[in-house]
Amino acid sequence: MQATITLTITTGKLAGKTYTFDQRTNFILGRSDDCDLSIPDEFYRRVSRYHCVLDINPPEIKIKDLGSLNGTYINKHKIGQRESNQAAKDTISSELPEYELKDGDEITLGDMVLRVTIENNVKVNSHDQNDQVALPKPNNYQPKLKPNNTETAKISNVAKTLIKLANEDNKNLALLCNYELIKLIGKNSFGEVYLVQHNQTRATAALKIMIPSVVEEESRIKKFAQEIENLQTLKHPHIVDILGYGYGEKVFFILMEYHKLGNVCNLMKQLGGKIPVPMALGIILQVLDGLNYAHSQEVPYIKLANGNVNKGKGLLHRNLKPDNILLSTINRKLVAKVSDHGLAKSFYIAGLSGQAVTKIKKDGEPLFIPRQQVLKFQECKPDVDVWASAACLYNMLTGCLPRDFGNEPWLDVLQNDPVPIRQRDDSIPTRLAEVIDLALVEKPHIHFQSAAAFKQALVESIT
């Protein structure tokens, strides 16, 4: 049985109403009718528009006040409130703290009280998954790469141990057998990416290691493994190819094609902070092709409306940002590929990341997400990726983010509308600017519903 969390309203008109969760989600409570729990004014008083947010990852649950006027209380102790002289729209001076909730805790916001019930009956993983892993195909012949001392010094013990055990015939790590770690490419909040080389075929690959920061649990591991398998079925010239994956020594490892030129952020830095219009458009049109394919492709594991998992159409990325657009050249032409399609969000939804969505920092994802993705997290449609692609284009052209951010990115996404692109840089051609601004419209819904529609509008704006 899975762990569940139930919230029960214990006061007022809605007393007795319950909400049960068996998977990771974030849940916003407030007066505004776009909250996950919208609390009507006529039933409960003293609730702010966006009052507090819960990060639910059964059996764990955390809460954070969103700078409410009257505060959020746990068992009658106040855990957060905005300063009395501060307006809801004002930038909050520091990141708001987050609190862990226990079974039986009572949350009070205004006149409403909710009781938290946690049922934990989870099975802890007793054996490693994925005994069978496919070996990657060798790519073009490469010379043997020699890591130097500075590069090897940056390699973590986790990566070294994985490769060592793989070469000692650990069958869960068979995929990594005969690979050598060449250098660390980069890190993120749940793992690391390395350049690796096969010592027989000389094929190079990128090895992504994702380290769950919560207790090993079979259902979570299976759920995330299914998401990687979904991603592995995507084969498209503008989506980074997954060569294989596995789970062993309590970490996930994914081998994917290596992109020597790095990502769009690296290119922006090399070009002085911005990318010229033709090049940026060339990149984003390819990204839109990749997204369009992923959004319509059949994949093996999709959660259906009835809760069952079966094959279904369309895989969302939900974390498209310049760092996840990788570049290479083919016949001296710049080729862009979407990477990590769905990975970070699936890791989060499977409950494997300890990083709460409520604590995402500026180097994380809220910078390129529409408000729909914050508010209706589980109900996202392809349009959230289309919005993110417009945000990436905006960023490439101006070096700026579409909306202004202060210290509390959560509230900023909900309250700050995107700034028209020509206010950032008035050299952007007018028709192109109009299409980008349109693509960033979020209210009442995202303007372009599909990647194909946005692509067509962009092409028309420059012809």
Ligand X SMILES: Nc1ncnc2c1ncn2[C@@H]1O[C@H](COP(=O)(O)OP(=O)(O)OP(=O)(O)O)[C@@H](O)[C@H]1O
**Binding at 319: pick from Mg ion, ligand X, none (beta carbon under 5-8 Å per type):** ligand X
- Quick check: 407 and 340 in contact, CB under 8 A? no
**Binding at 263: pick from Mg ion, ligand X, none (beta carbon under 5-8 Å per type):** ligand X
Which residue type sits at 428? Answer: I
**Binding at 206: pick from Mg ion, ligand X, none (beta carbon under 5-8 Å per type):** ligand X
**Binding at 440: pick from Mg ion, ligand X, none (beta carbon under 5-8 Å per type):** none
For residues 288 and 270, give the distance between their C-alpha atoms in angstroms, rounded to a whole number. 24
346 contributes a contact to Mg ion by CB under 5 A: no
Please list every residue from 287 through 326 that binds Mg ion, using CB under 5 A. Answer: 324
Q: Which of 131, 124, 112, 240 is nearest to 175 (CA)?
A: 131
Facing residues of 224 across strands? Answer: none
**Burial level of 306, CB count in 10 A (0-12/13-18/19+)?**
exposed
328-351 core/surface letters (b: 16 or more CB in 10 A; e: else): beeeeeebbbbbbbbbbbbbbbbb
Least separation in angstroms between CB 261 and ligand X: 8
Mode of pairing for the β-strands spanning 37-38 and 25-30: parallel
**Binding at 72: pick from ligand X, Mg ion, none (beta carbon under 5-8 Å per type):** none
Residue found under tokens 């993983």: 125
Least separation in angstroms between CB 449 and ligand X: 24
Binding residues for ligand X, rule CB under 6 A, total 20
Q: Which is nearer to ligand X, 207 or 285 (CB)?
A: 207
Least separation in angstroms between CB 260 and ligand X: 7
Least separation in angstroms between CB 331 and Mg ion: 26
Joined tokens for residue 241: 């190819």
70 contributes a contact to ligand X by CB under 6 A: no
State which residue has the least CB distance to ligand X: 186
Least separation in angstroms between CB 41 and ligand X: 38
Least separation in angstroms between CB 327 and ligand X: 9
**Binding at 252: pick from ligand X, Mg ion, none (beta carbon under 5-8 Å per type):** none
Show the binding pattern over residues 232-271: x = contacts ligand X (CB under 6 A), - = does not. Answer: --------x---------------xxxx--xx--------
Helices (H), 41-192: 149-153, 157-167
Least separation in angstroms between CB 321 and Mg ion: 8
340 contributes a contact to Mg ion by CB under 5 A: yes
Distance, C-alpha 283 to centroid of its chain: 21
State which residue has the least CB distance to Mg ion: 340
Stretch that binds Mg ion, among 39-47, 304-312, 340-348, 365-373 (CB under 5 A): 340-348
Neighbours of 106 (CB within 10 A): 16
DSSP state of 55: E
Binding residues for Mg ion, rule CB under 5 A, total 2
What angle do helix axes 451-461 and 383-398 make, rounded to 10 degrees? Answer: 40
Q: Which is nearer to ligand X, 319 or 450 (CB)?
A: 319
Please list every residue from 303 through 362 that binds ligand X, using CB under 6 A. Answer: 319, 323-324, 326, 339-340, 344
- Residue 257 vs residues 202, 241, 291, 333, 340: alpha-carbon distances, Å: 13, 6, 18, 18, 12
Least separation in angstroms between CB 258 and Mg ion: 13
> Three-class SS of residue 287?
helix
Residue found under tokens 């062993």: 248
Least separation in angstroms between CB 191 and ligand X: 6
Phi and psi of 150, rounded to 5°?
-65, -40
> Three-class SS of residue 188?
strand
CA dihedral 76, 80, 83, 87 (to 10 degrees): -110
Please list every residue from 188 through 227 that binds ligand X, using CB under 6 A. Answer: 188, 191, 193, 206
Q: Which of 171, 166, 164 is nearest to 131 (CA)?
A: 171
The residues of the shown chain that bind ligand X, judged by CB under 6 A, are 185-186, 188, 191, 193, 206, 240, 256-259, 262-263, 319, 323-324, 326, 339-340, 344
Q: Which residues bind Mg ion (CB under 5 A)?
A: 324, 340
